[in-house]
Chains A and B, each alone.
Chain A
């Protein structure tokens, strides 16, 4: 029963609210970087409400069920990830063994839902974007999993989020060590690619393949995709904050500290996206499989040595 409560209130409502705020932070920081004023604070919410009220068009020849179910699958997996993270961070943390692995799997499903939607919409640009997204997943998953190994090793080979958090409350954040810092740097780049933001917005490349897999989406289906992306913009930094920085806490000054962690990560992601050009897909894959994998492997070795 308590889990259903977590699912609805923390997993969906709270994450959606914070995700929309994070998306506003992203747009506002972008605007300030470009010497603009930027949108009002409620803008992301208004966008979603507007999209929910619009007509949803299904292209002729598209696979109707897949086309409409893909955004829902993506949103559901984000809600599940957020629920697991909130239970571990706020609740008693008595989840199952291996919830870290489940979170890693569920974090791939938003990208897979975008691929499904892109291929289902029967548009050449969408197919192109979906195939690029697939290559990008192959690229970033390896260094991301290696980077996540570091907190696992540090906390004495524990694959439960609650134990990783408990380790950090006693011994300080994992970022404090050399291996933790290296792993966090790698993970931030992978998150950038997971969110499909510049320099890794190759699947969505607006100026090139209009908006890739989303090109045929309209109305409420697009609204759900947008909500999914906004929630992911909070969930991924939250995941990094939990495994590398000791999570968020709700008592006194720690609340401010936790807020700083998440807002800082979102602002860092935004600044990276505003100061870089888009790379080609082969450059991105080479970057992930080359330097980033080497750094992540070095971090794992350092963590095994206890640094």
Chain B
């Protein structure tokens, strides 16, 4: 594995984007930064701007309004960039699967590296998901 990827896995800065979620997943993401879970131990920081981010955390059901913004953000993220889908909505659109407003699930729009199910997923589940992501990249 190259030094570039090794350093990336040791200091993944996350940027969270809500594509029309009910905000519960976003609150659970922010919970990971609290003293109880403290993901800064693993070098993770909340990036203020997409240009600083390495990992894109996406919540919500990708409605028509936000898909345009989602694509633009993914293009603006400096590569290598990993994408994590958090919550039932971004995995399969959840209860909005038959909605006129959510035509496509997230992984039909941009490539997704890891899926974290739950409505909302617990902070423990999010951390476990990120650990799986790191394992997956290491195996490559």
CA distance A217 to B50 in the complex (A): 10
- Say how far B51's CB is from chain A's closest CB, in angstroms: 4
**Residues on the A chain within 8 Å of B8, using CB:** 50, 53-54
Q: Does B78 contact A (CB under 8 A)?
A: yes
Interface residues of B in 3-31 (CB under 8 A from A): 3-4, 7-8, 10-11
Partner of B7, one of A27, A53, A219: A53
Q: Total A-B pairs in contact (CB under 8 Å)? A: 76
Q: Does B48 contact A (CB under 8 A)?
A: yes
Q: Decide: B51 and A216 in contact? CB cutoff 8 A.
A: yes
Q: Does B111 contact A (CB under 8 A)?
A: no
A57/B78 contact (C-beta < 8 A), A46-B10, A211-B49 known: yes
Q: Does A138 contact B (CB under 8 A)?
A: no
Q: Does B88 contact A (CB under 8 A)?
A: no
Q: For chain A, what secondary structure do more than half of its interface residues adopt (helix, strand, loop), or is it mixed?
A: loop
Q: How large, as a class, is the contact surface on chain B?
A: 20 to 34
Q: Decide: A39 and B79 in contact? CB cutoff 8 A.
A: no
Q: Does A55 contact B (CB under 8 A)?
A: yes
**Residues on the A chain within 8 Å of B4, using CB:** 50, 53-54
Q: Does B64 contact A (CB under 8 A)?
A: no
Q: Decide: A54 and B10 in contact? CB cutoff 8 A.
A: no
Q: Decide: A50 and B11 in contact? CB cutoff 8 A.
A: yes
Q: At the interface with chain B, which of A7-15, A30-38, A147-155, A175-183?
A: A30-38
Residues of B within 8 A of A (CB): 2-4, 7-8, 10-11, 35, 38, 40-41, 43, 48-49, 51-52, 54, 76, 78-80
Residues of A within 8 A of B (CB): 27, 31, 34-40, 43, 46-47, 49-50, 53-57, 206, 210-211, 214-219, 222
Task: List 6 contacting pairs A-B, 8 Å CB cutoff, sorted by A.
Answer: A38-B38, A43-B43, A49-B7, A53-B3, A57-B78, A211-B52
